Amino acid sequence: MKSELPSDLRYLPRAGRWISLGGAAAAVLLAAGCANSTTVKIDSLAKPKAEESISYKILNKNPAVDDDSLRYKEAAGYVRTALSGKGLYEAPDNQNADLVVSIDYGVGPPQSRREVVSEPVYVTLPGQMRVERVQVGTDRNGNPVYQTITVQDAPRTEFAGYREYFVTVTVYEKFLRLNATENKPAAEGRPPSEIWTVDITSEGESRDIRKALPILAAASIDYVGKDSLGQKTIRIKDTDKDVAFIKKGM
């Protein structure tokens, strides 16, 4: 990550006054609560009555992964679980399946992005000045003698606002594409009819497709056999019930 710090940092003090560290800590905790969420983009298409086709067989469309590899078996397991969440099941006899569901997934090439980073800014303030009456001795009769002195409290650190600057980051697009066609042979040179498709993507600095697949599969559940009417953007947390459902498996 390459930083490009401006010479003048922009501060955004809340309501034009200082706030306590407790308020800043609450803001940090709030941000931490969103740290494990992923932005996912979904685009799906479906023919009318697509939901009536409920049995399927799976086909690997990823040329870089062998059908017998553990990586593909893991991805196929996530897809089976996602499809079961919509009431679909894998046909015991592939010849009698309603659909052929093709699976393709992977990581796109690196892309550069400019992003705005916001960081909290803290300042150290001098302690308050106050007057105290202290005993400095006693008189000849043993009575205490007092004197008024000025003392300063210890300095304190407080939240002052935020500074913003641009950074250049490298991101990767992780994708999962499901394509369901009729389980029929090609006729007169025409391929089997497409019944529904779901295309799910997410961007991030990580290129770990294994970590992304459960989230992508979870995002697909509500869009299998459904027309999204254009691309949708949703946020999914690692702790969402659909992600837990996918990870638990069938």
Q: What is the pLDDT of residues 140-179, one digit of tens each?
A: 888 999 999 999 999 999 999 999 999 999 999 999 999 9
Contacts of 60 (CB under 8 A, 6+ apart): 67, 72, 76, 102, 103
pLDDT digits (tens, 9 = 90+) for 11-36: 444 333 343 444 444 444 444 444 48
For position 250, what pLDDT does the model report?
A: 75
Q: Strands 37-46, 194-204: parallel, antiparallel or unpaired by DSSP?
A: antiparallel
For position 190, what pLDDT does the model report?
A: 86
For position 69, what pLDDT does the model report?
A: 92
Q: Which helix (H) or strand (E) holds 232?
A: strand 232-237
DSSP character for 192? P
CA distance 31 to 127: 30
For position 87, what pLDDT does the model report?
A: 94
For position 28, what pLDDT does the model report?
A: 44
| pLDDT band per the 50, 70, 90 thresholds, residue 70 | very high
Q: Which residues of 198-218 are buried (b: 16+ CB within 10 A; e: fewer)?
A: bbbbbbeeebebeebbbbbbb
For position 95, what pLDDT does the model report?
A: 85
| pLDDT band per the 50, 70, 90 thresholds, residue 64 | confident
| pLDDT band per the 50, 70, 90 thresholds, residue 94 | confident
Nearest to 178 by CA among 209, 194, 199: 199
For position 15, what pLDDT does the model report?
A: 37
Nearest to 160 by CA among 118, 117, 122, 119: 122
φ, ψ for residue 91, nearest 5 deg:
-65, 135
Rounded mean pLDDT, 225-248: 95
CA distance 87 to 81: 10
Contacts of 79 (CB under 8 A, 6+ apart): 58, 101, 103, 176, 178, 217, 220
Q: Could you give the percent of the chain with pLDDT greater than 90?
A: 72
Rounded mean pLDDT, 32-45: 81
